[in-house]
Structures are given as C-alpha cells and as structure tokens.
Structure 1
Amino acid sequence: MAETLDIIAPFFNEAESAIAFVGLLDRLEVAVAERFGMTVRKILVDDGSRDGSAETFAAALSGSWEIVRLSRNFGKEAAVLAGLDHSRGDTVLIMDSDLQHSMDISLKMIGELVENPEIDVVFAQNDRREGSWRRSQLARLFYKLINSSQRFDIPENAGDFRVMRGSVARALTSVRDKRRFNKGLFAWAGFRQKAVLYSPENRAGGTSKWTRFNLIAFSLEGFTSFSVIPLRVISLIGLLAAFAGLAYGVKVLFEVLFYGIRVPGYPSLMVAVVLLGGLNLALLGLIGEYVWVTLSESKDRPVYIVRDVLHGNAVEQVAPDK
C-alpha cells in the first residue's frame, strides 16, 4: 500500500489566492506521486474567514481533501494544531496558502526526508530577512535572547513551513499549550531536524495579516512561553539601580561629613522616584504577562473549536473541543 502525504494549509481570508493555491496543490500532488509514489490528502483549516474562502476552496479542490472550519479566528498557531489533529498520513507537510511557500522547496524537503531515514523533520529556513536593517537586528537579538540558557535552540527565521514523519506529527498533537508559539514547540519537541534554505515567493493576492503590533505581541508570546530571560534582565537592571543608589548615597554622605556640601533635595528625590517607579512598573507588567500565561493554561479551555468539516460537497457536523 502506498504511503500517504497529508498537506496541512491554514488560511484566513485568502479568497483572492484560493484558485492559484489549489493549482499549486494539484501540481504538487502529481509531482509527489511521480517522484515518491505517495498519495496526497489535503487538509485545509479555515481560521474563521469572512470572505467566502472556504466555499472558494471547496469549489476548486479535487482528489482527497477536507476543510476544517473553526468556529472563529483562533490564530494561525491553533489552526496548525487543528490540521495536525486531523492528520493521519505517513508524512505531513505544513505550508501557507498564500503561495509564498513554493512547490520546488516542498519537493526538496520531502526528498530530504525520504532519502535520509535518520531525519525526522525537514524545515524551511528563510535565507533573506525582509525589512529594514533595524528590524533584522532586532530579530537576531530576539533569537539570541530566547535561546540563551535553553536545552534546545529555536532556529532563526524558521516558521511552520516544514515536512515531518507521521509519528512526529502525532507527538506534536500531544502538546496542548493554550498560548501557542509553534516555533518554540517544534524545537522543544526535539527529534532529528534538518534545515533547507529558501526565499519566500510573492503573495498571490491580499496582504499579510502580520502587522508590526502582531509581531511584537507574538515575540512576547515566545518569551513568556519559553524564556525567563526578561525577568532576569529586569532583575539585573533593578540590582544595578540599587547599587547606583547606594554609591550615590555614600558619595552624598562623604561630601556632607568632610566638605560640608549642601545636598540637593527635590531634584535628586524626583530622579530616584521616577527611576525606581518606572522599574517597578515594568517589572509588575512583565510579571503580569507571565501570570496571564499561567492563568490561560490553568483554565484548560480548548485550543480551538471546530464548526464543521467539509468533505467534497458534503458537510459533516462535528463538535469536538480541542
């Protein structure tokens, strides 16, 4: 019996690129069958689209496919988990539906996995960082900080675009973090992984859903999920401020006792209040972020809720809480 390849593709308001992406899936299915002898099953996850994306995909898809429609927008991280939960293939490929992940790189990753039985996961690593020099340096600093004092490293510029063995996909579904940071979870899970460099293609339509604010919030999600470094940095700053205050106090005492210099009162007092008050507020806010993550996990709500699943032209009503 031929091995199966499940292609997982989450989408949110991608009606403009739906037809083009289905064409890519069809070409990929033919190429996978010819090169690797695998049968392909397509699993698309509708993350609460409002532009008729699911209906457009359903009308264009062919072969073995299903569309998992979530009850609302839960975010890409949860949508990827929904796809993994519905996957049963021997091999699993995760890719975006905006055509920035090409067929050639997909085939290259599958080939690397098939040819090397010692490898469990092959992931695509962006070899060019778009945006300003400042943004690239901030990204580099982010990975350097989040990977410090860890037993594992989160690869820089690597996202969800990857292929893995079915056993790895099943293992990942056992990780039910409510506040999900897939880059960290993929690295935390371990297994033998290999990187393949690639350059993202241009979007087929629409605009990126990732705003600057979303990227900052996503980065904070990563820190609160996988690193204690922010707390340690704030603690170190507080310790340095305490030493600076102690040194200043010794200086003032020395000047009063030996030189009779009059100590300025109001300005120095305001500087101390503003500095220490700002540090305390920053620390409280950071602790609040960690507490919020802990509270979200303790509530034990499902990561996502499925509205229904489309199979061909039929609709199967389901109500799983995942």
Structure 2
Amino acid sequence: MAELRRTLDIVAPFFNEAPSASAFARLLGELEAAVAQRYGMTVHKILVDDGSHDDGAGRFSQALTGSWEIVRLSRNFGKEVAVLAGLDQSRADMVLIMDADLQHSLDISLKLIAELVDHPDIDVVYAQNDRREASWRRSQLARLFYSLINSSQRFDIPENAGDFRVMRGAVARALTSLRDKRRFNKGLFAWAGFRQKALPYSPEGRASGTSKWSRLNLIAFSLEGFTSFSVIPLRLISLSGLLAALAGAIYGAKVFFEVIFYGIAVPGYPSLLVAVVLLGGLNLTLLGLIGEYVWVTLSESKDRPVYLVRDVVRSDVSAERPDPGAPDR
C-alpha cells in the first residue's frame, strides 16, 4: 500500500495588508516548494481577512498559487479571533501559523517545521522573539507582565511567544474547542498544554505600513490577559486595601495616644481629606478592576458566535478538499 502524503496547512490572518500581498504570496510559494521537496508534504494555504478595508483579499487571490482559500470575516474581530477562524478551516496533519506582514521569514518557518518533523515526541514548536530591537524599558515591562501573570498558575505562559508556531493537527483541533469570546492566544496555547518547544528568532522588518498595535492596544491586550488568566490584580488590590486599613489603624492609635498622654490637638480637615482621597481612590480602582472581570464574564455568558464569516474564496485546487463542516463559531 502506498504511503499517504502528509499535509501542512498554513494559517495566516491579515488586516489591510494589500501592499505586501504579492511579496507574501511569493514567500508562501517558496515555503510550499521547500516543504514539498524536503518532506514530501502537500501544502494548503488558509488566509483569514479580518475585515480589511483595502483590496487585500482580491490581491491575495490574484497572487496566490497552488491550493488556497481566503476566509473573509464579516468585520474586524481582531487577530486572536482570526487565528481561530483559520484553525477552524484546517484539517491537515500539521498547521503553521504565521503573519502576513513578512516579519515571519521563510528560514524560521522551515526551522519550526523541521523541529516538529524531526522530534515525534514534540507536539508544538513555537517561535520566541529574542527582543533584540526592543528598548530596555519595554523589555523590563514585558518581563514584569509575564512574572505577574504566571504567578500562582499551574502552567506558565512563555515569555515573548506569539502566534508564530507549528503544531500537529490533533493540537490544532483541540485548540478549536476553546471558544473563548475574549481571546488571549498566548494564554490559551499555554493552558492547552501538550509538549512544546521554543525556537528563538528575530522578526524581520515590516515590508510596508506600520504595526496595528499601538501602546493603548498593547495595554488593553495585557489587561485582557490578566482578566482571562490571572487573579493577581484582584489580590494586589486586596493587599493594598489591607495595607491602607493597617496604616489607618496605626495612625488612629497614634492620634489616640497623642491626645490622651500629650494633649496634642488633632488637625481635623487635612487628616480627613487625606483619608477620603486615599480610600476613595482605592475603592474606585477596585470597582474598575472588578468591572473588567464582570465584563469578561458577561461577554462569555452571552454565548454569541466568536466570529461570523462573510464568504470563503477558494482556488480550483482547494475545491477538491473535503469541507470541514460548520462548527459552532
């Protein structure tokens, strides 16, 4: 009996990447040829248009070769959700997730695949950004973030590990069962477990445009991670409240002894104002943090679909592939 050829799906979400469509399509073509030559694997490309406002999907459909499909979402749901949409369409033996902005190179992609092929005991190989170009302040903030979010966990979220990774098909299908509405893929990948291995790399420069991640987006994304995978913020605020109560008790004891034993007059208005401002600020901070957790809980309880698909454009070759069905999006 002839040996069945292994298959590889490449999942690549994109948003307003029309200028780099031709270059990325060439990279995918080179990657497909290299994988076919080295490992005899058939490659299918799954691109997810995350509600782009340009003609990215049209340009990709003209530039792509071989077997491919472009899943166009009904609006911009965010990269985390777009990755899930791509995984939902996948049914290969291995799945490679990469970005369409050309920061994930051909060389590193092949190294990831080689690690997974050469080590049958490994389920996932992920690329770990070495942060060589990052400033000292940003590196320290990232280190603090991972230290806090990994506190009191049964699993660790690897530092500087993103979506750029290759995994076995069973892992990809297991990940599609995690239907969190407010997604934090770094945490979901780590929570899922499996045997994982890191591969350090330095991302390439963007071919065109600028990063879609502003500082505010990064802060919101970090908060998403905390509210989804950590109770540390609540414990820190609780500790702050306990310390404030302790400080108030000590100050009250000091005032009591000064009045009783020394007859010192207690300044009323300044002391009262400081106490009101301090405790009021702590209460507002705690309420805001609790509100974040409540909002996450409310979003999950509504049980809306994670995303909606506008349509799927396929090449003639990919039309021969069996339909993955219609999972609960």
Q: TM-score range by the shorter chain?
A: over 0.9
Rounded to whole Å, the distance in 2 between the matches of 1:44 and 1:320 is 18
Structure 1 unaligned blocks of 5 or more: none
Show CA shifts across 1:263-310 (max 9, x none): 000000000000000000000000000000000000000110000000
Supply the distance in 1 between the matched residues of 2:132 and 2:146 (Cα, whole angstroms). Answer: 14
Which of these residues, 120, 125, 128, is aligned with residue 122 of structure 1?
Answer: 125
Distance 2:207 2:32 in 1: 20
Task: Give, in angstroms, the shift of residue 136 of structure 1.
Answer: 1.3
Alpha-carbon offset, residue 82 of structure 1: 0.2
- Where 2:9 maps in the other structure, the secondary structure is strand
* 2:63 alignment counterpart: 60
Q: Does 1:81 align with 2:116?
A: no
Q: Which residue of 2 aligns with 1:157?
A: 160
Residues in 2 aligned to 1:78 and 1:168: alpha-carbon distance in whole angstroms? 17
- Per the alignment, residue 140 of structure 1 pairs with 143
Match of 1:266 in 2: 269
Secondary structure, aligned partner of 2:183: coil
Matching residue of 2:322: none
Indicate which of 277, 282, 291 corresponds to 1:279. 282
Q: How many residues align?
A: 321
Partner of 2:216: 213
Distance 2:250 2:314 in 1: 71
Displacement of 1:129 in angstroms is: 4.8
1:60–1:20 CA distance, 2 compared to 1 (3 A): same
Q: Are 1:256 and 2:295 counterparts? A: no
Deviations 1:19-77 (A, max 9, x none): 00000000000000011110100000000001100000001111000000000000000
The residue aligned with 2:232 is: 229
Instruction: Please give the alpha-carbon distance, in whole angstroms, between the structure 1 residues aligned to 2:257 and 2:141.
Output: 43
Q: Distance in 1 between matches of 2:65 and 2:99?
A: 18
Aligned mate of 2:173, from 155, 170, 174: 170
Which residue does the alignment assign to 1:201? Answer: 204
Runs of 4+ in structure 1 over 4 Å off: 318-321
Partner of 1:311: 314
Deviation at 1:313, TM superposition (A): 7.2
Residues 1:116 and 1:313: Cα distance change in structure 2 (over 3 Å)? closer
Superposition deviation, residue 320 in structure 1:
7.3
What is the CA deviation profile of residues 131-173 of structure 1, one whole-angstrom value per residue up to 9, with x for unaligned ones? 3322211110000000000000000000000000000000000
Q: Which amino acid letter does the alignment assign opposite residue 207 of structure 1?
A: T
Quote the Cα distance in structure 1 between the aligned partners of 2:156 and 2:303: 28
Contact 1:307 1:319 in 2 (8 A): no
Contact 1:306–1:320 (CA<8 Å) still a contact in 2? no
Q: Which residue of 1 aligns with 2:186?
A: 183
Match of 1:39 among 42, 54, 57: 42
Q: How does 1:18-37 map to 2 (within 5 A)?
A: 18-37=21-40
8 A contact 2:94–2:167 mirrored in 1: yes
Q: In structure 1, the residue corresponding to 2:122 is in which secondary structure?
A: coil
Q: Could you tell me how far apart the structure 1 residues matched to 2:316 and 2:37 are?
A: 28
Residue type of the partner of 1:28? Answer: L
SS at 2:82's partner residue? helix
- Is the 2:6–2:93 contact (alpha carbons within 8 Å) kept by the matching residues of 1? yes
Matched residues in 2 for 1:129 and 1:261: separation? Answer: 60
Between the aligned residues of both structures, percent identity stands at: 80
Q: Cα RMSD between the aligned structures?
A: 1.5
Are residues 1:11 and 2:14 paired? yes
- SS of the equivalent of 1:111 reads helix
Give the TM-score normalised by the residue count of structure 2: 0.95
Shift in Å at residue 12 of structure 1?
Answer: 0.1
Partners of 1:29 and 1:161 in 2: CA distance: 17
- Say if 2:88 and 2:327, in contact at 8 Å, map to a contact too: no
Q: CA shift at 1:214, angstroms? A: 0.2
